[in-house]
A and B are shown apart, each in its own frame.
Chain A
Amino acid sequence: MQKGDVAGTVSVGGRSSFGFFNDGSWSSSGSGVGGQVRVRLAPRVNTDWFYDYLTAPIGDFAHRQDQHIGWSVLFYLREPGEMPQFIQPYVLAGHCFDYTKQQANADLANFAERWSSAVQAGLGTHINITDRTDVSVEGQYMIHLGTDVHAHEENGVVEFHKENGASLEGHLLLHISFNYKLFDAW
């Protein structure tokens, strides 16, 4: 089996992210940047340890910044062969912690913030350009569990509401990443 298509492979890379369907009446898409380290536990099971920084507008009066740190397990749908498969689709699921900060555009001192935990699941595929380098495309749905924070504008005044109790907030994420296999750890 070629190096890079076996258990124990450690790889590193960067990615661009696009977030859709941010919750609330001012839903809009955002974009982000991040990176990941991959540790392959078995020939068909990889793990993705990631960080993302995303920004998005809230109407024309406020904006939000989201930071994700978490991990996903990738299960490969095709049996690894003698050579790495050029296309290697996978199913993923994992956990994530999220820090959200929402700020008024006209007054950055007017803001609300929140920590939440999340679970995510989705589909993706590696495009193995060489034995060591791949580009990956994946879509996942991420559900956050935390308190509800939302922005509201009335008579030109931006207010942030932080509700009591739990709230589920979901969004679709599309990632395009690159990865380079550094070494085989075992």
Chain B
Amino acid sequence: MVRPLALLFASGIAFAALAQDAVPYTGVGLLRGSAAIAPGFLLNAPSTDIYVCGKLEYFTEDRTSFRGESFWYIDSQQEHALMEQNSQIAFGPFYHFIKDRLDVGIGFEPGVSLARPRRIDAQDEAGPLHVVPSVALCAGLTYAVWDYFHFFVDARCVHARYNGSIGGAFPLDEVIIGGGLGWQFRLKK
């Protein structure tokens, strides 16, 4: 069992090494991925949500890419959180301003949140789980530190609104900030 896994791992490294070219940091054919922990600051409530997030981004042209992101809602930092669930997925285009290893990208992402308000007390029922449309304006800064690794900081301003709670609709607008280590591979020369 160990040998096939080792062979798979070695062949993966070899494939990635062969796929790289002289300028591996950006451009058409580059695939980026990352995983991080990100806080989300609700703009209409004194609440900070905590997400585990992941993203995949593929450059279809030298300066444009398409990015898919997912945000798994863990909980709120506050004891009395607004939401019991607010996980999100989104997908959209980005335009990149590139200077050597530094890349500043801006974009927007239509998406959906799987949202449920928290129950107020033990007798209360939690609100229903709803699919909530969302749109996010995004900006990110990426610095390639090596052929396969980069550091990044991302910020996204999300607009969404939960309809259907007993108290009526309420906004889920928030700013999510994430950062850390990412990976990159060139899939196409």
Point out residues on A near B: beta carbons under 8 Å: 14-17, 28, 30-34, 53-57, 59-61, 63-64, 103, 105-106, 108, 129-130, 132-133, 135, 176, 178, 180
Contact = CB atoms under 8 A, between A and B. Distances in A.
A180 B163 contact: no
Contacts of B66: 180
Interface in B123-180: 128, 130-135, 159-161, 163-169
Contacts of B61: 130, 132-133
Q: List 4 A-B pairs, minimum CB-CB distance, nearest first.
A: A60-B168, A57-B169, A63-B163, A16-B135
B93 interface: yes
> Which of the listed residues B63, B93, B130 has the most CB atoms from chain A within 10 Å of its own CB?
B93
A139 B38 CA distance: 35
B161 A31 contact: yes
B92 interface: yes
B41 interface: no
Given A16-B135, A31-B161, A56-B163, A135 B93 contact: yes
A132 B169 contact: no
Interface stretch (B4-12, B77-85, B97-105, B106-114): B106-114
Given A129-B95, A130-B64, A178-B108, A106 B135 contact: no
A64 B133 CA distance: 13
A14 to B, nearest CB: 5
A31 B128 contact: no
B151 to A, nearest CB: 26
B91 interface: yes
